[in-house]
Amino acid sequence: MNWLLPSVAALCTALFTTPAVTLTLEFPAGAHQTAEQVETYGSYRVPISGYENGEVQNIWAEGEVRQSAWQVQSQGLTTLQLMGPLKSQIESAGFEVIFECESRACGGFDFRYETDVLPEPAMHVDLGDFRFIAAHKMGEERPEYVSLLVSRSSGRGFLQITRVGPAEAEADVLVASTKNPDPLTLSDEIAAAAAKTSPSANGDPATTSTAMPLTQQLEIHGRAVLADLDFPTGSSRLGEGDYRSLDQLAGYLKAHPKRAIVLVGHTDAEGSLLGNKALSQKRAGSVRSKLTALGVAPGQVQAEGVGYLSPLTSNLTEEGREANRRVEVILSSTE
């Protein structure tokens, strides 16, 4: 399938205007922008290695930082098929690829959480199926950088583009052309989901909606917070008692033996990163042990911890810190 043919290409265009070259990226039919954030003058750590020896090597880039996320209809398309044409277009615009990797070679879970990624549901990263490239070229004042992260779910492709360029590049925009109307209408769903996972106007910490059943959250969004878990302060041992979320999760996994999940432990920002990563992984491991005791096959469950690197909300209040201390479940299956 060649989705760059005019008959099937949606003219969804990423325009990066500089004095020298305009970078125009054409996405496949059904592309839909889901998020964008711009920092007029900021910094971005451009990954130039996979996760090795406890870290990802980066280049510190400064300038206007523009990140956008897109979703495309990807039934039957692999991440390589999604990435390949975009990489070619980036190279054709004069950028040189300085690093590229696929999920396992990148470092999987560790690379994902050491890399700046726009939040769910706008950008989803399947820990077992993603690709990344970083490219640069010399601008008039300083190097310019573009990175592209591509992943997918069973029916959608997820793309994140990060561009760091001259601070005066205020005209840079991402435009979806109306020449070929997009049949995919996800904006209402995305806006509703984002509202449920964002801080409220009165400053309450972000929470994940509990109105939607946990298994449905996994099927639609690929992740859910196990909000009813109880860990004594400073302890990695799961408190005694029955937990409805784990009963639901165990039932789901036993009913779908080919599905797999990653339990991700999170902490607040008090204490060292090393200590918090260890504690968060132990807590995720305690949840894994509980699930296997409920009859889930060990091979279906992986436990990881990221410490305070992925907060739901600010750590400046006790309410925020409490919300950030959690275990999430991520659906890592691609089918």
Q: Rg of the chain over CA atoms, in angstroms?
A: 20
> How crowded is residue 73: how many other Cβ atoms within 10 Å of its Cβ?
19
Ranges assigned E (strand) in 74-165? 96-102, 130-138, 143-152, 156-165
User: pLDDT (tens digit, 0 to 9) for every residue of the chain, 335 residues total?
Assistant: 444 333 333 334 443 433 444 466 777 666 888 888 888 888 899 999 999 888 899 988 888 899 999 988 766 778 998 888 889 889 888 899 999 999 989 998 889 888 999 888 888 898 889 999 999 998 766 789 999 999 988 778 899 999 998 764 433 434 333 333 333 333 333 334 334 434 333 333 334 444 577 888 888 888 889 988 887 767 788 877 788 899 989 999 998 899 999 999 998 888 888 888 999 999 999 999 999 999 999 999 999 998 888 888 888 888 888 888 899 999 988 76
Q: Which residues pair with 36 in a beta bridge?
A: 68
Domains of the chain and CATH, by start: 9-180 (no CATH), 208-331 (3.30.1330.60)
Closest by CA to 78, choosing from 98, 102, 60, is: 102
The reply to whether omega before 119 is within 30° of 0 (cis) is no
pLDDT at 85: 87
Closest by CA to 302, choosing from 238, 267, 253, 248, is: 253
- pTM of the full structure: 0.52
pLDDT at 246: 93
Provide the pairing of β-strand 156-165 with 173-176: unpaired
pLDDT at 82: 87
Q: What tokens does 199 get?
A: 């801080």
pLDDT at 219: 81
Q: What tokens does 99 get?
A: 């690093």
